[in-house]
Amino acid sequence: MKVKALDPHLINIIAAGEIVDRPASIVKELVENSLDAMAKRIDIDIQNGGLQLIRVEDDGQGISKEDLELAIQRHTTSKISTQEDLDGIQTLGFRGEALASICEVAKVSVSSKTADTDEGNQLIIEAGDVQSISAVGRRQGTTIEVRDLFFNLPPRRKFLKSEKTETLHITRLMKRFLFSHPEVHLRLIQGKRTVLDSPGSQDLIEIASHLYDTKVAKGLVPVDYQGDVLKVRGWVSTAQLNRADRNEQYTFVNARAVSDAVIYYTLNRAYEGTLQKGRHPYVCLHIELDPHLVDVNVHPQKHEVRFLDAQTIRRELLQALNQTLLSSHATPNLPWKQAEEALRYRPERTGAVEKLDLREELEQRREAMPPIQTELRDASTSRFPERQPETINESLSQPKVEAAQTTPIEETVQPSATPFQSSLTETEEVRVVGQIHGTYIVVQTSSGFELIDQHVAHERVLYEKFLKQIAETGIQSQKMLLPETIKVTPDQAQQFGQHMGTLAKLGIDIEAFGPDTFLVRAWPQALAEFHAETGYQHILQRLLEVIEQEGDPSFEALAEVMVASLSCEAAVVKNTLMPLEAMRHLVKQLKKADNPFHCPHGRPIILQYGLPELERAFKRR
């Protein structure tokens, strides 16, 4: 086959396919043009989900008669003129492709008037061909009508969804514009029904209150941060307010809506330990930085960006989120309602019910935190030098179960008063009733009962114990009697080779042993006896992931990641029968934990049920 030049019309159709895939993409491009024209009010009318009609009208600067015919041609724009302009784009549009693409696949009318003319002009285009241009009377601004979308491309039209689905995509898009440009008055009309009408306020929380119900709006926390490279403003939700998808996460870079892996990774890190896997917070974040530090010319629809220094962006954004969440107690690691109920009963008040200041209690609890001594022992698989064996509480009346099936838990801490004992008083004994399905511990309390997941409870206790040991003694490496061999893929081998020094700071000594094999020769001493045979590579990969993503993460961040992974590997598993005394020791240690309600990965540990709830279920009240 001979190489030949394509017909210009076919070229335009192909190019249009990259930009115009559904009615919502047309609305996006037209509204962005209105925003670039400094419009303060934009009205969007649609019919039949945008297939029959899309009309976007603004009060912006307008387009002169000389520019009108030029504006609908491909690669014509007023926003850039040199390569230097491309390196620091400050407008939403810049390629000069959108309007030309729209004109190729629909019947389009463009009318506009500038401030320095007495009348406007109207241009009629059909499938890329100019039909007419004439003078019209109108106010300053621009109106673009797009009718019969894809009338000349039946194959493309049949791939569109129902009217309701296409309208939903447009509505979600308009919500994004409300958050990206809250000062602009935006109105969306479907037929004769007003779907959305924004208040035109600078306050992002006010915009959220306009869109969401009261429960959601009250769970939003404002973000205001100024770093060395970027400024962050907006809001995020508390950990208790979350969703199963990212549909309510709006992130903007210099007012441009983006879906960026760096931003999403940082959000996950900020909420790590407080949100269960697969759950996501509500987010609206405006990230402002020098336009020369971000490349927006990487996607036809401009959804993606590339940061010049992604590690710095990630670090400062994480600081902004952590600062917000900690200062406002937005991620308390503890359900506030449960916490308040847990703090209501104190023997010194002789039964009086009194609400306490939760934050004051949390501070007191942290200051008086006793050391945690709950440990896991599995000497049969240890590759480290043996230490003097420790005894388990002699009052155990049930026979021990083999180490592969159960985990004896040792209590060496003297009973002490702790501010957090759920609904137990400071002097009340932990009343473990028993175990369900070898997985859940049943505990009677003064106000009802609790179900405790033994695996995540043990995971939380080990996690806090390991972190406390590292904080007190630092990282000390312990040599293994027999090195552990791990086999890796070529890309993983590159990662291990690059970051051996960083891993060494964590007490992990690894050595290359061929092109795709490494030897683990030493492990952190505080964690040495709690390793799992299959856990080395998983933990190492998790550390490398954080190092790769964050570039130069802090020692504390890496230690937390390592300890969280190891705690999960070392904790007693489900379907494991535990002696009653061992369960009692675990529950006591959990009540002394810094966060007895969530494991390091965000999963719930305790479910509480009150007597009133039981009495209502049994028709006693």
Q: Where is mean pLDDT largest: 385-389, 486-490, 579-583?
A: 579-583
Q: Is the pLDDT of residue 384 over 70?
A: no
Poorest-pLDDT segment among 186-200, 333-347, 543-557:
333-347
Question: Looking at residues 252-259, what average pLDDT do you find?
Answer: 94
Tell me what pLDDT residue 344 has: 32
Tell me the pairing of strands 448-453 and 606-610.
antiparallel
Per residue in 549-577, pLDDT (tens digit) is: 777 777 788 888 888 888 887 888 888 88
Task: Render 214-252 in DSSP notation, one character per residue.
Answer: HHHHHTEEEEEEE-SSEEEEEEEE-TTSEESSSTTEEEE
pLDDT digit string, tens, across residues 267-300: 988 888 777 778 899 999 999 999 999 998 887 6
> pLDDT at residue 136 above 80?
yes
Model confidence at 194, pLDDT cuts 50, 70, 90, reads: very high
Q: What is the number of other CB atoms lying within 10 angstroms of the CB of residue 160?
A: 17
Q: How confident is the model at residue 361 (pLDDT cuts 50, 70, 90)?
A: very low
Tallying the residues shown for the chain, one arrives at 621
Q: Which fold, 474-570?
A: Ribosomal Protein S8; Chain: A, domain 1 (3.30.1370)
Q: Pinpoint the residues of the chain covered by CATH 3.30.565.10.
A: 8-191
Measured between alpha carbons, how far is 375 from 477 in angstroms, rounded to an integer? 19
SS3 label, residue 14: helix
pLDDT at position 154: 86
pLDDT at residue 331, rounded to an integer = 42
Q: Is the pLDDT of residue 578 over 60?
A: yes
Question: 8-191 — its CATH code?
Answer: 3.30.565.10
pLDDT at position 529, please?
A: 66
pTM of the model: 0.67
Helix or strand or coil: residue 518?
strand
Residue ranges of the chain assigned to CATH 3.30.1370.100:
474-570
We find that the CATH architecture of domain 204-327 is 2-Layer Sandwich (3.30)
Nearest in space to 108 (alpha carbons), one of 141, 143, 160: 143
Q: What is the rounded distance in angstroms from the CA atom of residue 73 to the CA atom of residue 110? A: 13
Residues of the chain with CATH 3.30.1540.20: 336-461+577-617
Quickly name the fold that domain 336-461+577-617 has. Answer: formyl-coa transferase, domain 3 (3.30.1540)
Confidence of residue 29 (pLDDT cuts 50, 70, 90): very high
Widest CA span in the chain? 98
Cα–Cα distance between 91 and 83 in angstroms, integer? 15
Looking at per-residue pLDDT, the higher value among 339 and 155 belongs to 155
> pLDDT tens across 138-184, in order?
999 999 999 999 998 888 888 888 899 999 999 999 999 999 999 99
Q: How many CB atoms lie within 10 A of CB 136?
A: 12
Between residues 529 and 305, the one the model is more confident about? 305
Nearest Cα neighbor of 523 from 550, 535, 515 is 535
